[in-house]
Amino acid sequence: MPSKTILECRGVKKHYGALAAVDGIDLKIKEGETVGIGGPNGAGKTTFFDLISGLTAVTSGQVLFRDQPITGIAPHLLFQQGMARTFQVTSGFASLTVLENLLAAIIFGSGEERPGLFVRNQHRERAMRVLDECGLRDLSAHTVGDIPVLARKKLMVASAVVHDPSILLLDEPVGGLMPAEIDEFIQLMFKLRSKGICIVFIEHVMRFLTTVADRALIIHQGKLIYDGQPKGIAADELVRSVYLGSSASTLGGNAS
Ligand SMILES: Nc1ncnc2c1ncn2[C@@H]1O[C@H](COP(=O)(O)OP(=O)(O)OP(=O)(O)O)[C@@H](O)[C@H]1O
Ligand SMILES: [Mg+2]
């Protein structure tokens, strides 16, 4: 297992007026690690992703991707350098097919200065390989607006991994899915993890977090209050009091 740091945060803060949405996070994430992030609504998890993916500028502190500060680097350039991200709200071009969505991600995420609109064989082959990996091949000709929510969520992941990222950031990938669908998503995560991709995800569904992650982080009021084994979350008094509370039982089974 490689142990090089792929992402580092040094005293990262984001203030919105008087609100400290992210309030001084120090962190190192290693290549190939799978890290699950939890925490109450409004804790600052998505804002934290916005900071590490270059979508939002830090108020103070520094984010380093492969030892280089990301300050001022646009998200699409970070994508070309191997940092891919999905969003909390399921997106995608609803009127295009699943395959066309993937082709768009491949062509426009390629980093070519003038990508053009021509679909080459290599684009199509890559798209079909990724669709296969993500269990979407049978839906390739379906319009995205017509496919089930599980498939749309898988498509977001598929679109993010088209250029073989070294780090993949997923914001609540299984929110709203049924337990059996979550199981299917877990298998997809295992597959991506086995390819050596570093996966960092935000998720309220504790069963998913504890099954997929080999390290858990809990954020509360913009601060990191837990960094350790996923199986230790339920026993941590502070985490229980501010986050899990009576829902600690969800660690065993259902979506929160
Ligand atoms: N652009 C913004 N302007 C002002 N306040 C913001 C902005 N973005 C986020 N916030 C505030 O920052 C805090 C953290 O929000 P964030 O979306 O990061 O929480 P979260 O942990 O992802 O919550 P959830 O689990 O509900 O998705 C919230 O109080 C939110 O209202
Ligand atoms: Mg969020």
- Taking the chain (256 residues) in runs of 10, the rounded mean pLDDT of each run is 86 96 98 97 96 94 96 89 88 88 85 64 90 95 94 95 95 95 97 96 96 98 97 94 67 39
The pLDDT, as a whole number, for residue 111 is: 66
Q: What pLDDT sits at residue 255? A: 35
Q: Where are the domains of the chain?
A: 1-82+165-173+200-256, 87-164
- Cα end-to-end distance, the chain, whole Å: 32
Cβ neighbours of residue 18 closer than 8 Å, sequence gap 6 or more: none
Residue 20, judged by CB atoms within 10 A of its CB (0-12, 13-18, 19+), counts as middle
For ligand 2, the distance from its centroid to the CA atom of residue 170, given in whole angstroms, is 11
Q: Which atom of ligand 1 is nearest to the CA of 14?
A: 12
Q: With a 6 A CB cut-off, is 14 part of the ligand 1 pocket?
A: no
User: What integer pLDDT is reported at residue 118 of this predicted model?
Assistant: 65
Structure tokens at 20: 């400290």
Ligand lying nearest the CA atom of residue 223: 1
The reported pLDDT for the residue numbered 72 is 84
- According to CATH, what is the number of the domain 1-82+165-173+200-256? 3.40.50.300
Residues 6 or more apart whose CB falls under 8 angstroms from that of 168 comprise 84, 85, 157, 160, 161, 192, 197, 198, 199, 200
